Amino acid sequence: MRGVLETAAAVRAGTLSARALVEDTLIALVADTHVAVTRVLHDRARAEADAIDAMVAAGRDPGPLAGVPYGVKDLFDVCGLPTTAGSGLYADAAPAGADAEALARLTAAGAICVATLNMDEFAYGFATINAAYGTTRNPSDPSRLAGGSSGGSAAIVAAGLLAFSLGSDTNGSIRVPASLCGLYGLKPTHGDLPLGGVFPFAESFDDIGPFTRSVEDMALVWQVLAGRRVDGGRADGSGDFRVARLGGRFRENAEPVQLAAIDAIAPDAPLVELPEIARARSAAFLITACEGGALHREALAGQAMAFDPQVRDRLIAGALLPEALYQEAQAFRADYCARIRALVADYDVLLAPATPTFAPAIADPRILIDGALSPARADLGIHTQPITFTGLPSLAVPLYRPGELPIGLQLIGRAGREADLFAFAAKLEADGITGYGMPQGAASGHCMPQDAA
């Protein structure tokens, strides 16, 4: 399948019809078997495609994303549809009166929204095991999880059905499925991309970001969402990246292939150990639980049995946590973020694993953490959650492993310096270290989604 840049260039040149591309895409989405799609937006997609083709025919530039179909995690407002946040509780909610700000920016750039995509209910999990909409399957091996909570957004791009998609990341919900599906996935600097019209989970950590199959596509979608151009990607312009490897807990609970790749990328780079990682992750869990529980307290009081049982119990527990404990965790976070930003100020890129292991089996969704089996739904984010806590940007990059199960690394940067991450990722991609590589024999399969025509 064409990437974002290639598709947009062909549409702008008039060698590819946006309507024809959309029709092919709609057929593929209706037939998807990865349980990635919740609604196919037939009428909207066709109308937007026709508008793009009309602009091209009139000699006008539709924008940098001209005619590129994309999908969104089912917590973005899509005008005219209920925003379900992956829950049957809101399947019949009042429709959104306008698109989320992120969708509005993509539409203005010429992109075409074609689908809403599966997720863990209320984004609470790392697995996309959803009681209402099903479990999303990994395109590299359909017997395995795609990761979560943005699993549908990752699977649909990894399967080659869309060139990019949008997800959200609170504690790793973009980076985890990007790693397990072999994609690029960005958690930006906290608060950098627009959250208007996005159903919240934990506002202290919530961010949105894209999934793509190449770093150049990632940079383009990011700059449309951010409303600014990539600035070249090196603060000093030297081209020599100051790199460190994260040590301590980031060298534990990782696959040998990840550690070998990190050490090969930067063999002489210092090992930097972030302090109090366990405490940071515990505080992140606590803040997430408190904010999630508070958000859903009223619905839990009146309709508790309508929640996914695994999500319901976690939200109830969060709603019962003392306010003083929440405030203590937030105070620790403020101090911790200041210390971490000072610690990493001398580096452009920090290297770390994105997930502790490969995608676990759907039949047994557990992973080994410190030698004991642990629920994947809770612990696939062991390496992403501490980075979220700092608010720093993190780009998941796929190790190039055609014929093997996907797995990725995190490139972590300084606040506001996503461009450094893109530039470094482009170097790794050019060197053949990272890149999208669907395993041999994997193919785009097909599930009947709900139809929103």
Render pLDDT for 351-368 as a digit per residue (tens, 0 to 9).
Answer: 999 999 999 999 999 999
pLDDT at 449 over 70: no
Half-sphere exposure of 169 (CA within 13 A, CB side): 35
To the query of whether residue 204 is one of the catalytic residues in this protein, the response is no
In angstroms, how far apart are the furthest CA atoms of the chain? 63
DSSP code per residue over 305-344:
GGS-HHHHHHHHHHHTS-HHHHHHHHHHHHHHHHHHHHHH
| pLDDT-above-70 percentage for the chain | 94
**Residues 233-256: what's their mean pLDDT?**
84
The per-residue pLDDT for 446 is 31
The per-residue pLDDT for 234 is 58
Which two three-digit tokens encode residue 342?
Answer: 């000072």
**CA 300, CA 132: separation in Å to the nearest integer?**
17
DSSP 56: H
pLDDT at 448 over 70: no
User: Where do we find the tokens 């109308």?
Assistant: 47
Residue type, 120: D
The per-residue pLDDT for 313 is 93
Active-site option among 87, 140, 173, 214: 173
Return the closest-CA partner of residue 173 out of 155, 192, 151. 151
Which two three-digit tokens encode residue 231?
Answer: 């600035």
Would you tell me how many other CB atoms lie within 10 Å of the CB of residue 375? 16
| pLDDT-above-90 percentage for the chain | 93
To the query of whether residue 149 is one of the catalytic residues in this protein, the response is yes
Would you tell me how many other CB atoms lie within 10 Å of the CB of residue 194? 17
Render pLDDT for 37-69 as a digit per residue (tens, 0 to 9).
Answer: 999 999 999 999 999 999 999 999 999 999 999
pLDDT at 235 over 60: no
Burial class (CB in 10 A: 0-12, 13-18, 19+), 403: exposed
The per-residue pLDDT for 438 is 67
Helix or strand run (H / E) with residue 21? helix 18-30
Banded model confidence at residue 132, pLDDT cuts 50, 70, 90: very high
DSSP 136: P
3-state secondary structure of 7: helix
Residue type, 425: A
Sorted by sequence, the CB contacts under 8 Å of residue 431 that are 6+ apart come out as none
The per-residue pLDDT for 413 is 97
* Average pLDDT over all residues of the chain: 94
Architecture category of domain 4-451 in CATH: Alpha-Beta Complex (3.90)
**Residues 334-351: what's their mean pLDDT?**
95
The per-residue pLDDT for 162 is 98
Return the closest-CA partner of residue 183 out of 210, 149, 148, 158. 158
pLDDT at 325 over 90: yes
The per-residue pLDDT for 332 is 97
Active-site option among 87, 149, 150, 214: 149
The per-residue pLDDT for 15 is 98
Banded model confidence at residue 295, pLDDT cuts 50, 70, 90: very high
pLDDT at 398 over 70: yes
Burial class (CB in 10 A: 0-12, 13-18, 19+), 76: buried
Q: In angstroms, what CA-CA distances link 388 with 119, 207, 394, 433? A: 19, 9, 8, 25
To the query of whether residue 427 is one of the catalytic residues in this protein, the response is no
Render pLDDT for 156-177 as a digit per residue (tens, 0 to 9).
Answer: 999 999 999 999 999 999 999 9
**Residues 99-110: what's their mean pLDDT?**
98
DSSP 76: B
**Residues 425-429: what's their mean pLDDT?**
97
> Domain ranges in the chain?
4-451
Task: List, in sequence order, the alpha helices (H) in 170-304.
Answer: 175-181, 215-226, 256-265, 277-295, 297-303
Cβ atoms 444, 161 nearer than 8 A: yes
Banded model confidence at residue 1, pLDDT cuts 50, 70, 90: confident
Which two three-digit tokens encode residue 246?
Answer: 């994260």
